[in-house]
Amino acid sequence: MSTMNKASALAAAGLKYGYHASSPIVNGLNMQVSPGEWLGIVGPNGSGKSTVLRMLARLVSPQGGMVTMEGKDMAFMDTKAIARQMTMLTQTQESSLDITVRELVRRGRNPHLKWYEECRGKHEEVVDWALQVTSMSELQNRSLLELSGGERQRAWLAMCMAQTPRILLLDEPTTYLDIAHQLELMELIRELNREQGITVVMVLHDLNQAARYCDRIIAMKQGAIVREGTPTDVFRVEFFREVFGIEAKVYHDDGVPVYLPCGIVQQKPTAAAAAI
């Protein structure tokens, strides 16, 4: 078992993945996440963000390279041991599950229960806490089928919280949420990150939210990391032009970069095109 990257909560070395042998999506990616850090992964559609996150969570196995959690090669770790340390909220969840919110949240305790143990006593207290911090207590007896997309997303987040993870991976967690619930979720994660030291890795499309909340940003394009640094280092006019192909104005609010998209970068016509 490897003991690489002991200081990192998570680290990836030489990660490779492709859905078709001829065209790798991710080809030799290296990254590391420090304990207690909030890392944001950004990039255009199809740049490989979710694929990388799924490899970090061991939902898919890398076709090359390795992922280590606190220095241990995750390929050799027990699934339950991983689930006690790390959880991932995916972009979309199964929507046909006819169980109550509370039953779903109880599932988050499974990695902490012995095979003969039921979710009782202190485990039920954790379930209550998870429901409370995600504002789901009032909806706990409702079936998942009777929830809106945003409520369902919060129910799944409550399940992740009940797992009491040290590392939280989130793939576009705010997609279905209205702006108030988006901010509520980001503030909750900030609290978990700052007060409990939970390491957060989040894929985000809202770059202004990424700038406001993340300690560090990794920007991906075509399966590779093209920029890395603090939000101020990364979110510059050239970044928006080169990575997203847009013209943007960048302001600063209390030291946090805020961007305003102004238009698509116009491709200069080539001489050949002009001659037509």
In the complex, the residues that contact ligand ATP under the rule CB under 6 A are 19, 25, 43, 45-51
Measured from the CB atom, the residue of 29 and 130 that comes closer to ligand ATP is 29
- Smallest gap from Cβ 41 to ligand ATP, in A, equals 8
Measured from the CB atom, the residue of 52 and 186 that comes closer to ligand ATP is 52
- Smallest gap from Cβ 266 to ligand ATP, in A, equals 24
* Distance of alpha carbon 15 from alpha carbon 60, whole angstroms: 12
- Smallest gap from Cβ 103 to ligand ATP, in A, equals 29
Measured from the CB atom, the residue of 60 and 81 that comes closer to ligand ATP is 60
Which residue, chain included where needed, has tokens 């039921």?
A: 118
- Smallest gap from Cβ 241 to ligand ATP, in A, equals 19
- Smallest gap from Cβ 127 to ligand ATP, in A, equals 31
* Distance of alpha carbon 161 from alpha carbon 159, whole angstroms: 5
Measured from the CB atom, the residue of 43 and 111 that comes closer to ligand ATP is 43
Measured from the CB atom, the residue of 29 and 105 that comes closer to ligand ATP is 29
Measured from the CB atom, the residue of 16 and 112 that comes closer to ligand ATP is 16
46: Cα separation from own chain's centroid: 15
- Smallest gap from Cβ 50 to ligand ATP, in A, equals 3
